[in-house]
Structure 1
Amino acid sequence: MLQLVDVHAYYGGIHALKGLNMTVEKGEIVTLIGSNGAGKSTTLKTISGQVIPKTGKVLFHGGDITKQPPHLTALSGVAHVPEGRRIFPRLTVLENLEMGAFSVKDKKIIKDRMERVFHYFPRIKERLSQKGGTMSGGEQQMLAIGRALMSQPDLLMLDEPSMGLAPIVVEQIFEIITELNKEGMTILLVEQNAYQALQIAHRGYIIQTGEIKMAGLGKELINDDIVKEAYLA
């Protein structure tokens, strides 16, 4: 479904991604593990079109989306839930969800998609008229994922979905990620909680200073001594 081929990306003079190669197959959960500043968020931004690589290619369903504007990448089936959630704080929960389906004109389709979001996040349904910025961090994360699901993406990219959340909320988020995947959603997950991410991931990549240093099945990586020492201690 997704392939990054020898991707080099820069922030000014900083070489953020150095020849990145990775794939995501349909129906997988793939996790990207690394320390702060390793290039995890930059990878997701490069896929979604917010960062244009200097060289290399990003292929989605076999088509080249390397220099495609973010809104067209979203329309092609990629949904990006960024680090820090980035909901619209002054809009209501309902308006935030509607923004996720900005390209859909059929009100019945929007309603059906919203009901699906409520299935995963019933708490959101209780707060439709509430301003997004007044909700708790966990509720905002649920809203951010729900907004992404409103576009009915082929690929859901999640950047640090557990950051700053209480353990019980983190558990709920990971249960929902697993349920989404069981129902056919392909997921690319960047997560600070490496142990929890590798537990649910089919495959994982270890990224350091913009380069993939290790790749393997989630179960293999979680038992690897190097990974344990660096990320699971």
Structure 2
Amino acid sequence: MTILELKGVQANYGGIQALKGIDLKVSRGEIVTLIGSNGAGKSTALKAISGQVQIKNGSIYYKGTDITNTPPHKTSLMGIAQVPEGRRVFPMLTVKENLLIGAFARKVKREMVTRLDRVFQYFPKLRDRLDQKGGTMSGGEQQMLAIGRALMMNPEVLMLDEPSMGLAPIIVEQIFEIILELNKEGMTILLVEQNAFQALQIAHRGYVIQTGEIVLEGNGKDLLTNQQVQEAYLA
């Protein structure tokens, strides 16, 4: 069952047409990755879904409902959470405060405690750092905090924008293991990555975007062995 769909989406970013009519589908329970070079339009696609970028033409559907140009605070309440490129934790807030911001719409204390416990199952290190300022953490720890903050929204769809960026290989491996674990528990994931090899290894399906257009799509393993993908992104 399709949970998220983009149809002919066109959008500008920084005065440039970043998306030129892309079509993309994500089925419930899938990991779908969007790969491409820097500036290809990957991040703009996620921002268009979450409502951070205005769509000029085309439509976006979530669980069959048209959410085109729905503002971010509403898409998050609908069940779409985004982990932004560069993590963007609040540097002067503590780990606990950063996490609680993710549950901004949840008023029941018991529910917040349950969600914190779930985050700590994936990232036990965060439990030991609750009073530490977000800006004093390492890059890997900040990525864990950013994902944890998104999980506090209890999303149905988790969108990750370059989660491996700037991280040591061992931390990247840990992050991708957690992505797989979340998916095995039923979470739908849309993953944007420049690390095409890592992304396609775990993805059920993938799309290749170039200068705002989808040029290839297919099974993740098939794209791994595609000559065009290998020459452009895996060499």
The TM-score normalised by the length of structure 1 is 0.99
Pairs within 5 Å for 1:201-220: 201-220=203-222
Distance 2:211 2:50 in 1: 20
CA drift at 1:224:
0.6
Distance 1:67 1:162 in 2: 28
Distance 2:13 2:145 in 1: 30
Distance 1:14 1:102 in 2: 33
Cα deviation digits, residues 19-40 of structure 1 (max 9, x gap): 1100000000000000000000
1:37 aligns with 2:39: yes
CA contact (8 A) 2:160 2:191 kept: yes
Distance 1:178 1:11 in 2: 31
1:176 aligns with 2:178: yes
The TM-score normalised by the length of structure 2 is 0.98
Q: Secondary structure at the match of 2:92?
A: coil
87, 90, 104: which one aligns with 1:88: 90
Cα deviation digits, residues 156-188 of structure 1 (max 9, x gap): 000000100011100000000000000000000
| Alignment match, 2:129 | 127
| Alignment match, 1:158 | 160
1:143 aligns with 2:175: no
| Alignment match, 1:74 | 76
Distance 2:15 2:109 in 1: 47
CA drift at 1:12:
5.4
| Alignment match, 1:49 | 51
Cα deviation digits, residues 13-71 of structure 1 (max 9, x gap): 41110011000000000000000000000000000000011010011011111121110
Distance 1:198 1:111 in 2: 35
Q: Secondary structure at the match of 2:173?
A: helix
Q: Secondary structure at the match of 2:209?
A: strand
| Alignment match, 2:65 | 63
CA contact (8 A) 2:13 2:44 kept: no
Q: Secondary structure at the match of 2:73?
A: helix
CA drift at 1:11:
2.7
RMSD (CA atoms): 0.7
Q: Which blocks of at least 5 consecutive residues in structure 1 are unaligned?
A: none
Distance 2:104 2:152 in 1: 9
Give the counterpart letter for 2:72 in structure 1.
Answer: P
- Runs of 4+ displaced beyond 6 Å: none
CA drift at 1:192:
1.4
104, 118, 121: which one aligns with 2:120: 118
Cα deviation digits, residues 130-155 of structure 1 (max 9, x gap): 00000000000000000000000010
Distance 2:69 2:177 in 1: 34
Q: Secondary structure at the match of 2:55?
A: coil
Distance 2:99 2:16 in 1: 36
Distance 2:197 2:13 in 1: 30
Distance 1:36 1:168 in 2: 23
User: Percent identity at matched positions?
Assistant: 70
